[in-house]
């Protein structure tokens, strides 16, 4: 019998092959193919081409990926090891600029290497094992974090509510549960009977290909709509809350997410529908003061003019603008749902408090 898409791992480590194994998301929903990534170029391409995508999943892929790359390195000298580690780190980090989880996970792996190798003077073999455990911990943590986001998000809605989501901040964008979909999946476990509207999400169709697919496969009542239909469903009173994911939260609460999110948020404001941004604290970037400083990835023209169409759907030579993300102003956001609670305006303070909670928790773990 064919396996349900929810039974596959989005991203995992294959110890035997020494590879990062992912579901190639560019083939979904038509085909489910797992691919093994072994070289730096393969990992970079998979991230750039969105074979693995979604901020948390990219971070996990990079953490597992850098471990795979350094595992078989042949040196006993930590400084030589570290020099090569840094090369891989910079290379992987250059694959996509907006999701801070990518650099967050790589920096966390770097700190781990430095602590073990330079501070504690461990052998290179021990450093590799410590990196191994850290990469697996980053992956495991993602599951707990998403579940906690789900519990917190669930307090914002009630049984029978209509929920609109944009892009895919689902299980396929994380290790399990997703962020924006976590309250939906927990609600589903508890019989909440939500009605979900999934924006198709032009130009790469993550909403249609991925969100509608995973929710539908999980038995959630999901209705696919085109990106220009959100006002129509909100005007009819069919949506009680918007849940979206996020690639980077600035210190003032501005959030970068998939292109079109800010349009949804502006429309929701008009119709009085609260917009909740679901984000693990690994997505919060206190070093970026506002959304204006977030670097927005620009993607190739063909994604707009021909990708997913049977033939080109725009005149040759026409100018194309294809930013992958936009920034939703914090004034349009009713709450930022994290694993440490829900941040509300004024965000400068509430996000600082959330990050402080994380710092305290990680101190007690150390």
Q: Which stretch binds ligand MRU (CB under 6 A): 1-9, 15-23, 87-95, 172-180?
A: 172-180
Q: Check: CB of residue 21 under 8 Å from CB of residue 13.
A: yes
**Using the rule CB under 6 A, which residue among 183, 187, 245, 335 binds ligand MRU?**
245
Q: Rule CB under 6 A: is residue 174 a binding residue for ligand MRU?
A: yes
Query: Which residues does 363 contact at the CB level (< 8 Å), separation at least 6?
Result: none
Question: Can you tell me the distance from the alpha carbon of 85 to that of 97, in angstroms, rounded to the nearest whole number?
Answer: 19
Q: Rule CB under 6 A: is residue 202 a binding residue for ligand MRU?
A: no
Q: Which stretch binds ligand MRU (CB under 6 A): 28-36, 86-94, 165-173, 227-235?
A: 165-173
247 is catalytic: yes
Burial of 196 from C-beta contacts in 10 A (0-12 / 13-18 / 19+): buried
Choice between 21 and 102, CB closer to ligand MRU: 102
In this structure, the chain runs to a length of 366
**Using the rule CB under 6 A, which residue among 13, 60, 157, 169 binds ligand MRU?**
169
Residue appearing with tokens 């290379």: 91
Nearest to 42 by CA among 29, 51, 53: 51
Nearest to 278 by CA among 209, 226, 204, 334: 334
Q: Rule CB under 6 A: is residue 179 a binding residue for ligand MRU?
A: yes
Q: Which stretch binds ligand MRU (CB under 6 A): 104-112, 240-248, 304-312, 331-339?
A: 240-248
Q: Rule CB under 6 A: is residue 257 a binding residue for ligand MRU?
A: yes
Number of residue whose CB is nearest ligand MRU? 245
- For 251-284, b/e burial (b = at least 16 CB within 10 A) is bbbbbbbbbbbbbbbebbbeeebbbbbbbbbbbb
DSSP 114: H
**Using the rule CB under 6 A, which residue among 43, 208, 246, 333 binds ligand MRU?**
246
Rounded to a whole number of angstroms, the minimum distance from the CB of residue 206 to ligand MRU is 5
Q: How many angstroms separate the Cα of 55 from the Cα of each of 105, 109, 120, 246?
A: 10, 17, 32, 7
Counting residues that bind ligand MRU (by CB under 6 A) gives: 19
Choice between 69 and 246, CB closer to ligand MRU: 246
Residue appearing with tokens 């909670």: 357
Beta bridge partners of 37: 20
What sign results for the dihedral spanned by CA atoms 11, 55, 192, 196? negative
Question: Can you tell me the distance from the alpha carbon of 30 to that of 248, in angstroms, rounded to the nearest whole number?
Answer: 30
Residues 86-125 that bind ligand MRU (CB under 6 A): 99
Residues 29-68 that bind ligand MRU (CB under 6 A): 50, 53-56
Rounded to a whole number of angstroms, the minimum distance from the CB of residue 165 to ligand MRU is 9
Residues 122-161 that bind ligand MRU (CB under 6 A): none
Phi, psi of 241 (to 5 degrees): -160, 150
Beta bridge partners of 21: 12, 36
Question: Can you tell me the distance from the alpha carbon of 248 to that of 295, in angstroms, rounded to the nearest whole number?
Answer: 10
Residues 69-88 that bind ligand MRU (CB under 6 A): none
Q: Which stretch binds ligand MRU (CB under 6 A): 186-194, 213-221, 228-236, 242-250?
A: 242-250
- For residue 195, what is the enclosing H or E element? strand 195-199
Rounded to a whole number of angstroms, the minimum distance from the CB of residue 179 to ligand MRU is 4
Site string for ligand MRU, 307-326 (x = CB under 6 A): -----------------x--
Choice between 112 and 174, CB closer to ligand MRU: 174
Among the options 142, 161, 199, 247, which is catalytic? 247
| Most distant CA atoms of the chain, gap in Å | 66
Q: Rule CB under 6 A: is residue 208 a binding residue for ligand MRU?
A: no
List residues with catalytic annotation.
247
Where along the sequence are the contacts to ligand MRU (CB under 6 A)? 50, 53-56, 99, 167, 169, 173-174, 178-179, 206, 245-247, 257-258, 324
């Amino acid at each position: 019998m064919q396996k349900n898409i929810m039974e596959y791992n989005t991203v995992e480590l294959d110890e035997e092959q020494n590879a990062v194994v992912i579901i190639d998301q560019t083939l979904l929903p038509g085909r489910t193919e797992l691919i093994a990534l072994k070289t730096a170029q393969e990992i970079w391409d998979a991230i750039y081409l969105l074979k693995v995508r979604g901020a948390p999943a990219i971070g996990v892929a990079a953490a597992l990926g850098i471990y795979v790359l350094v595992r078989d390195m042949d040196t006993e000298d930590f400084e030589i090891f570290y020099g090569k580690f840094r090369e891989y780190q910079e290379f992987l980090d250059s694959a996509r600029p907006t999701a801070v989880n990518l650099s967050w996970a790589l920096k966390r792996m770097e700190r781990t290497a430095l602590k073990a190798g330079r501070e504690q003077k461990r052998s290179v073999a021990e450093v590799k094992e410590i990196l191994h455990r850290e990469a697996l911990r980053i992956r495991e943590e993602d599951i707990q974090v998403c579940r906690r986001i789900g519990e917190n998000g669930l307090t914002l809605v009630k049984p029978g509510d209509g929920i609109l989501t944009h892009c895919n901040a689902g299980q396929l964008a994380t290790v399990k549960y997703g962020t924006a979909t976590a309250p939906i999946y927990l609600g589903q476990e508890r019989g909440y009977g939500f009605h979900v509207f999934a924006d198709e999400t032009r130009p790469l169709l993550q909403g249609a290909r991925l969100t509608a697919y995973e929710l539908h496969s999980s038995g959630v009542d999901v209705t696919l709509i085109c990106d220009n239909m959100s006002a129509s469903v909100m005007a009819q009173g069919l949506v009680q809350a918007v849940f979206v994911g996020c690639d980077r939260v600035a210190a003032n609460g501005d959030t970068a997410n998939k292109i079109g999110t800010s349009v949804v948020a502006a429309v929701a404001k008009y119709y009085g529908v609260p917009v909740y941004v679901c984000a693990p604290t690994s997505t919060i970037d206190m070093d970026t003061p506002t959304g204006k400083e977030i670097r927005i990835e620009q993607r190739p023209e063909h994604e707009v003019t021909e990708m997913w169409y049977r033939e080109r759907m725009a005149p040759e030579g026409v100018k194309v603008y294809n930013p992958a993300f936009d920034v939703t102003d914090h004034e349009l956001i009713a709450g930022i749902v994290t694993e440490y609670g829900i941040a509300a305006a004024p965000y400068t303070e509430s996000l600082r408090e959330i990050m402080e909670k994380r710092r305290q928790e990680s101190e007690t773990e150390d």
